[in-house]
Amino acid sequence: MTVPGPAEPSDPAEGQLERILVDAEDALRALREELAEHRRSREQHDAVDQLPHLINASTEKWANTRLFLEELLEELRANRQGGDLPSRSPRAADSPRHPQDPGRDDG
């Protein structure tokens, strides 16, 4: 007759309870995995539900960008046709004028 080791219970009822416990732990692990998958799926559905709102917001932003660019082009064309293009370099045109600047335009 063999002597049961530390992992082998000597009582058959104890062995049965041990198997039930292992099965319960396996079932719990499977349930946790299923719950995690369900949560991931729910997050994906929520993200898809948000798409119309995000598309509307980005469409509005692009419309504003388009309007800005159209106005910019109109001004550039008007400046080109009117001969108002500055003869300075872009850096000089972009730098702020100081009060002691002789080219200052007081309006």
Rounded Cα distance, 79 and 77, in Å: 5
Rounded Cα distance, 64 and 62, in Å: 5
Is residue 49's pLDDT more than 80?
yes
Is residue 1's pLDDT more than 90?
no
The whole-number pLDDT of residue 85 equals: 52
Which helix (H) or strand (E) segment holds residue 93: the answer is helix 90-94
pTM for the complete prediction?
A: 0.45
Is residue 97's pLDDT more than 70?
no
Is residue 35's pLDDT more than 60?
yes
Structure tokens at 75: 């001004």
